[in-house]
Structures are given as structure tokens and as C-alpha cells.
Amino acid sequence: MGRIAQVGLYTALCLFTGATWGVMRTRGIHPRPGGTIVTVPGVGLGPPAAVNGFNPLLISSAFDQQAAGLLYQPLVWVTRRFHISRRLSIARRIVTGPHHRTYTLTLGRRWRWSDGAPVTAADVAYTYRMIRRLGPRFANYGVGGIPTDVASFRVLGPYRLRITLKKAVNPRWFILNGLTLLTPLPAAAWKGFSVTSLYAHLADLRFFRIVDGPFRLVAFAFGRYVAFGPNRRFTGPDRPYLHRLVLRFLHDPESIFFGLKTGKIQIADLPHELFPGRGKLRGFRQRVVGPVWGFNYLGFDYANPRVAFLRDARVRAAMMHAIHQSLLIRVQYYGQGVRDYGPIPPSPATYLSPLARRLERTGAYDPRLSRRLLREAGWRLGRNGVRQRKGRRLMFTALVPPGQVRGPTIIKEMLAQVGIDMRLREKPFNEIVAMTQGPDAAKWDALYLAWGLSAYPSARNIFGCGGANNFYHYCDKHMDALLDAVPSAPGKDAIFRYEDYFIKEQPVVVLPGQRHVIEARGDIRGLRRAYSPLGGFNPQYLWIARGQR
């Protein structure tokens, strides 16, 4: 699974949480309902951006997914340790057939839509049918075999359904990657809408009036803010305490810092470049989370003939060895980060290969090796310090979201030391998404973004030839074979082989993972449960301690 995001962001964020236990007590203070908290999208993930839609079937950004995750309860709720919470999942029971091809689900009968109707297997079936209709327009099409590996989808009764796959797979892979996509949606309310109509109502508050999650939409001002209130008919075990939650769409670090200082927002990530001024924030508490379950990267458009030289793995490997990740962490993130060179995050280390563990421990910075690789690829230094070959300069332009120039500027200087000229072009996040994806996609050189992963981190849709999210147009048959082995292979060896080949090839140049320092007003409680280490956002656990500021 993946969601594109600004650097430092997590995309499958709705699935991960730290909340699987009862109500916490803080120094004898009991949670009390009421109050308003104003924050920004993407706290615990990275620099915020606007929310543009709420339909889980049609959105592709981490910010939209975060908002939609407040409205709809997942079929399978995955904890921060990659376990399934039966208490918070709509699926009460999952029975795997003897040959790992059939999966029979029984839904809990407690769950209700906000109009009082039960959440049933028909709502899961609606989601599945719509994914099939959308095809590659669904951002996670093919992830976890949904719907590409499904031989049959049968509703056995109001609360039972059975999915039969075309081949045997690792059950953990299918449950954590495939079933997590089948969030039940209100079939009775949505069944009369065409795909075109769904797009037309992407941000229509009236369209999203029937929900089964802890929150409901209250207000939405395009480009400015979105407000949520508690779903009073929520039948889950953890009802929200807050009367209102507002996400303001602030973009630049100075606005976020000023908003915290003046009280216009009460929770936000402290922008790394403003760490020196954190002493000016009085009456705030801190919580450090991350790195999130995903990876930051510098990605390339392999279909663009202008940067055809990036198809040479030696050039990409030279870039990897030219980037001093430890220095980048120290300067860009003020020490709040970890080295990362592959498609699987270093924390938790559940799926890290021995090679990945060694690189995370020792680093890969070696500019002499970078220069040697570039010479072997035929690139020679020109008079201006930029390498050339056959009259062409080793130069490309990277698209960078607003307020994120600091890191790329440091990378630009590092690459210049080995003769690579990286230009920077700042563009709004939404424009980058539109420029690189969908029918209006244009040719581009490179981009500086992040990608989130599913709980079982296979990535056929991202790096496989023709993958639904492969807008890089990257294609490597050996990579395909390694990725195709991951779903069915037992144990972790298949993941390790894919991971090691990725590190060698660097289809995208992976950058350090960052930790996030969350600043919250001193009377706000529940931060530990609301913001999980992997990037989950569950504001139903936030509450305001009266008289504690």
C-alpha cells in the first residue's frame, strides 16, 4: 500500500495505531468530554498540506487519507506492532483455508452507521466492487492482490463473506496488505452514484453524512481548514472526547511556529529549521515519534528522455554514496533522524535484511566510490565542475514541496562535490501530485517526496513494471521476479532478497528517516495514544484537562 506525501510523511496511516488498551489515566486526572483542539494535517508525519477529499476510494495523499480515516472504521485494524486488534476491527474473525487460498470473514454485529443501519458484508462487497470498477484509478490497485488475485468474492450472509484467491499466498501478506484495503463504505447511501459522481462529491459534506468512524464532518473550507465533530452514534469502544477538531491548512514553517506561539493552533510538529527557537514556546509538552512506516526519497521519471542517464544504476548508486546521511540528519533534522538506504524503514527492524542493518549502522557515504562509478559510466568532469558525456551535462531538476528546500539544498551541495548538478524547483504539493500522476501527468526530471508502506512491506504496485503507483515508469524484470515472490514465500527471505536488490539498484534514492517532535499545549492529554510511533493519527484519544494549563 502506498500514499504519496511530502518528505517525512506516512501514507497508510489509518491502519496503524498504538491504541489497543483501555482509557489511560494521567496523574489522577480523569478524561472529560468537550473542548476544541486546532491543529494541522500530518502531525507526526511531516510538513502539512491541504486536505482535498474524503472518499477512501479516490484519494491518494496522506493528508486526505488521514482525514478519511476519522470517518470510516477499518475492516482490519493493525497495531504498531503489526498485530490485528480484534477489538477495533470490524472483522471479528478471519479463517484461512487449508491451502491459503480462501479467507472467510465474520463481521462484528456491534458496528452501526450513523443512520442506525448495521455495517454488513454488503458494505465490504461495495468497496470491493468499486475498486474493480475504478481499476488503476484506485491508488492501491493490486496491492495485497486486491482485486487482481481474487478468483471469487462471495457474500455468505449479512455478516459473513468469503474471498477465494487464484493462488496460495502468505496469509499474513494478504491480511495485512489486501484485507486492510476493504474498508466498509455505506453501500445503501452510495450505490446510486457513478464513478464520475463520486469524484464530483469528493469534498461534499452532505455526501459524507453517513459514517461509522469516531468522527463526522462539520465544516470544510477549500484551501483553509476542515472541522470534525464526534459521531454521536459511533458504536466502537473509544468514543471521542473532543467537541470539535479543526485541521488548519498551514504550509510554511514560520506560520506553524507563529500559530503555536500565539495559540491559533494547539498541536503541531516543531519544524526542524526552527528548533533553535523552541524555547520561546511556553506551556507546551513534547512527544517525539517516528520515523514513520515509509521512506523519504529522491525519485525519477524514467520515461523522460531528457534524464535518460538516470536509467544507469551506476549513476543512481553514485548519488547514494555521495549523500552524507549522518550530516544531513544533523543539519536538516537537528539530530532527529536515522539513516535509511532501502525500501523498508529501519524502525521497527522487523523486516530488515542483514545488509540493510549493516548500512543503517555504518552508513554508505563514500564520495570516492561515487566518482569512480560515474567515471565508469562515462561521465567526465567539465571545466565548471559538472560532469559531461557526449556533450550532455549531468544535470536534472528536482520538484520540491513548499518549505522543504533546506534538505534538498544540502543534497544539492553534496551531489555537486562529485560533479552532479541538481537544480531545485519549488511547487505546491498538489501541483506535484497532478504533474506526476493521472491523465494530466507531464514529463519531469525528479521529485523530493515520501512514500508510505503497508504493514507487510511488499511494493509491487510502486516498483513493479506497470504498477498502479509506478508513476516513475521504472521497469526491471529481475525486480519484478523478486517482488512477485514476496506474497507467497514463507518467512522473510523473499523480502530480504528484494530489499538487498533494491539497495544495490536504488530505483529511487532513499533518504534519511526523520523523527518528529510534536508540540502540544500543556493541558492536552492522550498524545501517546493519538500519535503512534509509526505515524497513526487517532484524535479520539485526545482530551483537555480542565484547569491544568
> CA 266 to CA 250: how far, in whole Å?
13
Over the chain, what is the mean pLDDT?
90
C-alpha cell at 186: 455505506
Enclosing H/E stretch for 407: helix 406-416
What class is the 294-514 domain? alpha beta
Report yes or no: 165 and 174 within 8 Å, Cβ to Cβ.
yes
Look at residue 20 in the predicted model and tell me its pLDDT: 36
**Mean of the pLDDT values across residues 338-350?**
91
Geometric angle at alpha carbon 219, from 213 and 222, rounded to 5°? 115
3-class state of residue 17 by DSSP: strand
> CA 379 to CA 513: how far, in whole Å?
30
Q: Do domains 13-71+213-290+520-544 and 80-190 have the same CATH topology?
A: no
> Whole-prediction pTM value?
0.83
10 pLDDT band (50/70/90 cuts)?
very low
> CA 472 to CA 114: how far, in whole Å?
41
Report yes or no: 238 and 540 within 8 Å, Cβ to Cβ.
yes
Instruction: Name the CA dihedral angle for 145, 500, 455, 517, rounded to a multiple of 10 degrees.
Output: -140
Look at residue 6 in the predicted model and tell me its pLDDT: 47
> CA 122 to CA 447: how far, in whole Å?
40
Domain 13-71+213-290+520-544 CATH superfamily: Periplasmic binding protein-like II (3.40.190.10)
Given a cut of 70, whether residue 515 has pLDDT beyond it is: yes
Instruction: Give 438-447 pLDDT, tens digit per residue.
Output: 667 889 999 9
Ramachandran region, residue 319 (left: φ > 0; alpha: ψ -120 to 50; beta: rest) = alpha
What residue segments make up the domains of the chain, in order of their start?
13-71+213-290+520-544, 80-190, 294-514
Q: Which of 540, 537, 469 is nearest to 14 (CA)?
A: 537
**Mean of the pLDDT values across residues 230-258?**
94
Instruction: Give 164-185 pLDDT, tens digit per residue.
Output: 999 999 999 999 999 999 999 9
**Helices 477-485 and 493-505, interaxial angle, to 10°?**
160
Q: Which of 43, 41, 114, 106 is nearest to 76 (CA)?
A: 106
Instruction: Give 281-297 pLDDT, tens digit per residue.
Output: 889 998 888 888 889 99
**Mean of the pLDDT values across residues 484-509?**
93
Q: 80-190 maps to which CATH number? A: 3.90.76.10
> CA 262 to CA 60: how far, in whole Å?
33
- Residues with Cβ within 8 Å of 129's Cβ and at least 6 positions away in sequence, in order, are none
- CB-hemisphere CA count at 13 Å for 243? 6
- Residues with Cβ within 8 Å of 440's Cβ and at least 6 positions away in sequence, in order, are 434
> CA 221 to CA 238: how far, in whole Å?
28
